[in-house]
Amino acid sequence: MEFIIHGKTITLNQYVNSERTNRFMAAKIKREEMERICWQLPNVKIEGRNDYSFTFYDDNKRTDPDNYLLFAKFWMDALVKKGIIENDGRKQVGKMSFEMKEGTPRVEILAMKSKQ
* Distance between CA atoms of residues 69 and 86, nearest Å: 22
Would you say residue 2 has pLDDT above 90?
A: yes
* Distance between CA atoms of residues 111 and 93, nearest Å: 9
Question: 3-class DSSP state for residue 65?
Answer: helix
pLDDT tens-digit series, residues 58-101: 888 787 878 777 778 888 999 999 999 999 999 999 999 999 89
Q: Which residues sit opposite 57 in a β-bridge?
A: 101, 106
CATH class label, 2-113: alpha beta
For the whole model, what pTM was predicted? 0.85
Residue boundaries of the structural domains of the chain: 2-113
Would you say residue 23 has pLDDT above 80?
A: no
DSSP assignment of 98-112: EEEEESSSEEEEEEE
